[in-house]
Amino acid sequence: MELSETALAARARRAYEQGRLQAALWRAAPLLPLVAWAVGWCRYPTLAALCGSALVALTVAFSWRGLVWARAVAPGLLAGLPPLVLPLLMRGAPQVCVGEMCCSLCLVGCVGGGVVAGLLIGRRAAALPEGRGTFLAAAGALALLAGAPACAFAGAVGLAGLVVGFAAGSAPVVLAREPA
Amino acid sequence: MDAARRRELQELLTRLADGDRAAFPPAFTLLWPVTRSFARSFLRDDAGAEDAAQQALVRLFLRAAEFDPARPALPWVIGIVASECRTLRRRAQRRREGPLAEAEARADAGPSPEESATRSDLERAARSALAGLPPADVEAILAHVGEAERPDVPAATFRKRLERALKRLRRAWSERHGTL
């Protein structure tokens, strides 16, 4: 069945988008067992499932979209490991007290993991000639979603600590290399 | 395809693999004639070649996200188009195949269908390259392979003429098929 050149171009464009979507789905597929694993141990399985679904959906969407969005996927997921692992390792630890102020070590892990994630992503974003904001937003979203199930052990304060830690880690690096 | 167009193809496919949609229209404009011309030289009938070229082009764009920018673009393109043409030719051959007895009778008669098809492809490609040469060149080459009378010229003149004709044939072949 022969097509006009316009119809062929439209069909080729659809095929291109379909191919990108397939590649993006393959790229996100390894996250599924990780999400299932996180739902298994998270204190709030619904939250872990929501964060995991959002993580997979955003990975697919960014990979399909391409350019800076796609380039942010791998650094974002890698930067999500510290906030995922640190609070998980510290969840059974006792509270840390400085004077009269006490907080759980898990919360410290959330903030620390957030700072590490922020530093990693901030450094990569600062090295980019353009699209820093997009890269920071995309990679940051993935890192925060990856770390959220573990930080949920410390409750809402843990999630807030993760976000604050990420902002504290990434902002100075990005601002320091902001062009004049 | 000359070096400048090869470079352009490489750049466009790299951009497409990266997700740059702006590269789609120029890539389509560049790839469609290449695909159509290759399919025409590979397959027998023009209508079948047009159909194969369209399918091959759609397949190319479907796989554009997999393109590795470290590898040369033209062989990648030709590989996909040739594979699609071979698939379509096999399908067409299966449809045309007659009763079993007739097929068995043919099996002992001479070269296999694959060999015949390959030989026929090469002959067609060679004739198509010859068609673009000046008549004197065609005459010299055909005389050299024994398919025409040798022109009534001194041996040295014929050798020179043949040398020039073969050089032009090589160039025409490279332009059509990208390789010798």
Whole-number pLDDT of residue A19: 94
A105 alpha carbon, distance to own chain's centre = 22
pLDDT tens per residue across span B9-44: 999 999 999 999 999 999 999 999 888 888 888 876
The 3 state secondary structure assigned to B80-129 is: HHHHHHHHHHHHHHHHHCCCHHHHHHHHHHCCCHHHHHHHHHHHHHHHHH
What's the predicted TM-score (pTM) here?
0.67
Q: How far is it, in rounded angstroms, from Cα A106 to Cα B176? A: 67
Q: Does A55 touch chain B (CB under 8 A)?
A: no
Whether residue B153 is predicted with pLDDT greater than 90 in this model: the reply is no
Which residue does chain A place closest to B15, by CA atoms?
A67
Angle (CA) B122-B125-B128 rounded to 5° is 150
CB burial of A23-59 (b: ≥16 within 10 Å; e: otherwise) equals: bbeebbeebeebbeebbeebeeeebbbebbebbbebb
Whether residue B160 is predicted with pLDDT greater than 90 in this model: the reply is no
3-state SS, residue A102: strand
Half-sphere exposure of B170 (CA within 13 A, CB side): 7
The β-bridge relationship of strands A95-98 and A101-104 is: antiparallel
Of the listed ranges A120-124, A162-166, B89-93, the one predicted with least confidence: B89-93
Whole-number pLDDT of residue A178: 61
Residue with the bigger pLDDT between B105 and A156: it is: A156
pLDDT tens per residue across span B39-74: 888 876 666 788 888 989 999 999 999 898 888 888
Q: Does A66 touch chain B (CB under 8 A)?
A: yes
Whether residue A125 is predicted with pLDDT greater than 90 in this model: the reply is no
Q: Does B62 touch chain A (CB under 8 A)?
A: yes
Phi and psi at residue A95, in whole multiples of 5°?
-75, 155
Q: How far is it, in rounded angstroms, from Cα A88 to Cα B78? A: 51
Closest CA to B21 of A24, A13, A35: A13
Most confidently predicted of A57-66, B63-72, B151-160: A57-66
Q: Does A10 touch chain B (CB under 8 A)?
A: no
| N-term to C-term CA, chain A | 58
Q: What is the tally of structural domains in chain A?
A: 1
Contacts of B30 (CB under 8 A, 6+ apart): B5, B8, B9, B12
Domains with residue ranges and CATH for chain B: 3-96 (1.10.1740.10), 113-177 (1.10.10)
Q: ipTM value of the model? A: 0.74
Q: Does B48 touch chain A (CB under 8 A)?
A: no
Whether residue B133 is predicted with pLDDT greater than 60 in this model: the reply is yes
Best B15, B18, B29, B58 residue to mutate vs chain A (most A CBs within 10 Å) = B58
Angle (CA) A110-A125-A180 rounded to 5° is 120
Whole-number pLDDT of residue A1: 52
Whole-number pLDDT of residue A90: 73
Give the residues across from B96 on adjacent strands.
none
Inter-chain residue contact A15 with B16, CB threshold 8 Å: no
- Print the domain residue range for A121: 5-176
Q: Does B20 touch chain A (CB under 8 A)?
A: yes
Q: How confident is the model at residue A17 (pLDDT cuts 50, 70, 90)?
A: very high
Q: How far is it, in rounded angstroms, from Cα B57 to Cα B31? A: 8
C-beta neighbour count of B143 within 10 angstroms: 17
Residue with the bigger pLDDT between A64 and B112: it is: A64
Q: What mean pLDDT is predicted for residues B144-171?
A: 81
Q: Are A27 and A19 a contacting pair, CB within 8 Å? A: no
Chain B residues inside the 8 Å CB shell of A22: 65
Q: Tell me how close the Cα of B98 comes to any Cα of chain A, in angstroms.
A: 24
Whether residue A25 is predicted with pLDDT greater than 80 in this model: the reply is yes
Chain A residues inside the 8 Å CB shell of B59: 15
Closest CA to B79 of A149, B71, A18: B71
Q: How far is it, in rounded angstroms, from Cα A148 to Cα A83? A: 8
Whether residue A18 is predicted with pLDDT greater than 80 in this model: the reply is yes
Whole-number pLDDT of residue A39: 78
Half-sphere exposure of A77 (CA within 13 A, CB side): 21
pLDDT tens per residue across span B72-127: 888 888 888 888 888 887 877 777 665 554 555 555 556 666 677 777 777 777 77
Q: What mean pLDDT is predicted for residues A60-65?
A: 95
List the structure tokens of B3.
Answer: 């070096």
Of the partner residues B20, B50, B58, the one whose CB lies closest to the CB of residue A15: B58
